[in-house]
Amino acid sequence: MTMPQKNIKLTIEYKGTAYAGWQVQPGQKTIQGDITEAIYKTTGEKVKLIAASRTDAGVHALGQVANFIIEPQLPAERYKEALNFYLSDDIRIKESCRVALDFHARRDALWKRYRYLISLEKSALYRDLRWEHPVELELQKLKAAATLIVGEHNFAPFCVVASRRENNSCRVAAAKWRQVGSLLVFEIRGNRFLHAMVRSLVGAMVNLGTVTKDKNPQNLTLERFGNIIKSSTNERVVFTAPPQGLYLVSVQYEKG
Residue numbers annotated as active site: 56
Residue 79 to residue 167: CA distance in whole angstroms: 37
Q: Which amino acid belongs to residue 21? A: G
Tell me the three state secondary structure of residue 160.
Answer: coil
Alpha carbons 201 and 207: distance in angstroms, whole number:
10
Q: Indicate the residue type of 128.
A: D
Q: Are 123 and 33 in contact (CB under 8 A)?
A: no
56: which DSSP letter?
P
- Please choose, from the candidates 179, 62, 169, 54, the residue with its C-alpha nearest in 3D space to the C-alpha of residue 115: 62
Torsions phi, psi of 46, nearest 5?
-95, 115
Helix axes 222-230, 139-149, angle to 10 degrees: 10
Residue 118 to residues 133, 173, 184, 187: CA-CA distances in angstroms? Answer: 6, 22, 5, 12
d(CA 155, CA 188): 14
- Partners of 250 in beta bridges: 113
Q: Is 51 exposed, middle or buried (0-12, 13-18, 19+ CB in 10 A)?
A: buried
